[in-house]
C-alpha cells in the first residue's frame, strides 16, 4: 500500500496491479492539490473479504472519498458502496476485449440507494475522479476551495467563434 506521510483523505482502490498505471494518474492530481491519499489493490472477486474490510474501515481511518478503478467484471466500485457510506467514485478501465464499455456499464448502472459516481473510461476518468474528489473535499475546506479557484482551468467557458469550447492548456 502506497501512502503519503500525512493521514490519507482519499482512498484509491484498483482491481489489479495491472490497473496501477492508469489509477496513479488520479494520485498525481490529488498530489497536485496537496491531498494525502492511499492507493491499494483490492478486488471484488479475487479478494472480496479484504475489499469489504477496506471499505468498512475507511471512514474510521480518516478517508473521506473513495475512488475505485476496475476493468474485467468491474464491480469494485459497487462493492465499496455496499460496504461504506462514503462517496464512491468509479473509474471503468479498458482492460477487457470489450474496450471498457463493459466496465462502464457495470460501474454506472447501480440500483437506487447504492450510488457510484461514475467517471469516463480510463485515464480521463481517473483524472476526473481525483478532480471531483478535490471539489468534494473543498466544500468544507476553505484552503482547498481557494486553491481550486486559482488553479489553471483545463477548459475555458468562452466558446470559440466556431462554437467549440476553447482549451487553455
Minimum CB separation of residue 126 from ligand RP5 in Å reads 12
Task: With CA atoms as reference, report the closest residue to 8 among 43, 59, 84.
Answer: 59
**How many positions of this chain bind ligand RP5 (CB under 6 A)?**
10
85-114 positions binding ligand RP5, by CB under 6 A: 93, 95
Nearer to ligand RP5, 118 or 137 (CB): 118
Q: Are 32 and 24 in contact (CB under 8 A)?
A: no
Joined together, the cell numbers standing for residue 129 give 475522479
Among 9, 10, 11, 19, the residue binding ligand RP5 under the rule CB under 6 A is 19
Nearer to ligand RP5, 4 or 96 (CB): 96
SS3 (DSSP) at 89: strand
- Strand pairing partners for 66? 11, 88
Q: Are 16 and 42 in contact (CB under 8 A)?
A: no
Among 16, 51, 84, 118, the residue binding ligand RP5 under the rule CB under 6 A is 16
Task: With CA atoms as reference, report the closest residue to 68 among 105, 107, 25.
Answer: 107
Q: How far apart are CA 149 and CA 14, in angstroms?
A: 30
Q: Are 67 and 133 in contact (CB under 8 A)?
A: yes
Contact between 118 and ligand RP5 by CB under 6 A: the answer reads no
47-86 positions binding ligand RP5, by CB under 6 A: 70-72
Minimum CB separation of residue 130 from ligand RP5 in Å reads 18
- Return the range that interacts with ligand RP5 (CB under 6 A); candidates 10-18, 27-35, 53-61, 137-145: 10-18
Among 15, 27, 78, 117, the residue binding ligand RP5 under the rule CB under 6 A is 15
Q: How far apart are CA 91 and CA 126, in angstroms?
A: 6
Question: Which residues contact ligand RP5 by CB under 6 A?
Answer: 15-16, 18-19, 43, 70-72, 93, 95
Amino acid at each position: 500500500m502506497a501512502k503519503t506521510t500525512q493521514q490519507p483523505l482519499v482512498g484509491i482502490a484498483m482491481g489489479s496491479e495491472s490497473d496501477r498505471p492508469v489509477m496513479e494518474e488520479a494520485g498525481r492530481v490529488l498530489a497536485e492539490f496537496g491531498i494525502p491519499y492511499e492507493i491499494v489493490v483490492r478486488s471484488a472477486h479475487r479478494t472480496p473479504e479484504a475489499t469489504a474490510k477496506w471499505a468498512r474501515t475507511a471512514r474510521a481511518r480518516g478517508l473521506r472519498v473513495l475512488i475505485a478503478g476496475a476493468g474485467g467484471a468491474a464491480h469494485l466500485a459497487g462493492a465499496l458502496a455496499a460496504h461504506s457510506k462514503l462517496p464512491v467514485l468509479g473509474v471503468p478501465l479498458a482492460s477487457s476485449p470489450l474496450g471498457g464499455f463493459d466496465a462502464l456499464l457495470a460501474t454506472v448502472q447501480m440500483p437506487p440507494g447504492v450510488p457510484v459516481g461514475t467517471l469516463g473510461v480510463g485515464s480521463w476518468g481517473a483524472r476526473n475522479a481525483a478532480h471531483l474528489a478535490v471539489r468534494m473535499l473543498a466544500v468544507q475546506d476553505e484552503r482547498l476551495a481557494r486553491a481550486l479557484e486559482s488553479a489553471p482551468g483545463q477548459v475555458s467557458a468562452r466558446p470559440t467563434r466556431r462554437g467549440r469550447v476553447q482549451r487553455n492548456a
